[in-house]
Amino acid sequence: MYSDDKNLAENKVLILYILDKINREITNDGLLKIISSINDINYFYFQEIFTDLVDSKLVGTYTKDDETVFKITSEGINALSLTKNLLPGLLKLKADSIFKKELIDVEEESSISAEYIPKNENDFTVKCKIVENNETIFEIKTFAGSRDRAKKIADNWQNNANKIYPQIINILLDN
């Protein structure tokens, strides 16, 4: 039982430690990717721990650009300063070396997004966007007609936004 309590405490402190190092908002999925690359933790255990941190106001939750993001609170920073020594040195070293690379991967993944939203059984709206430094720099919505067309538009945006975006900007700037 002591080992489970110790692992729970270490994982809570690890999450706070990473949130403190990131020092900006991050999505739940982005944080899970970073934490699971540092410490072998499954989705459900992570969600249980993370929900507890949010419920105890150590992690704040915000909505930004229709997306829920999280950031360490001042209470979380205080709790981290009191509990940081619970993190084993090897885990802290691993966290320090892995988190920067994983954060870059998470930021790149979240910088281009596309989703299709059903209006009814046959009508879909596709929303494509580019986010840099947690700020939406480009967003477009279009009617797709069918699920297949919506999926094709979303996939094409995900795979080719770096080509499509400049073309759209050029068309908009063309006299």
Alpha-carbon distance 126 to 117, whole Å? 6
Instruction: Please check the confidence at residue 15 and state whether its pLDDT lies above 90.
Output: yes
30 vs 35: CA distance, rounded Å: 9
Most confident of the ranges 30-34, 74-78, 105-109, 133-137: 74-78
> How is the chain split into domains, by residue range?
2-109, 111-173
Taking a C-beta distance cutoff of 8 angstroms, is the pair 70, 60 a contact? yes
- pLDDT surpasses 60 at 2: no
Per-residue pLDDT tens over the stretch 48-72? 999 999 999 999 998 876 678 889 9
Select 2-109's CATH number: 3.30.70.141, 1.10.10.10, 1.10.1740.10, 3.40.50.720: 1.10.10.10
Q: What is the pLDDT of residues 80-123, one digit of tens each?
A: 999 988 888 888 888 888 877 776 666 666 678 888 888 887 88
Q: What is the CA radius of gyration of the chain?
A: 20
| pTM of the complete model | 0.61
Q: Which two tokens stand for residue 74?
A: 């001042």
pLDDT digit string, tens, across residues 117-133: 888 878 889 999 887 76
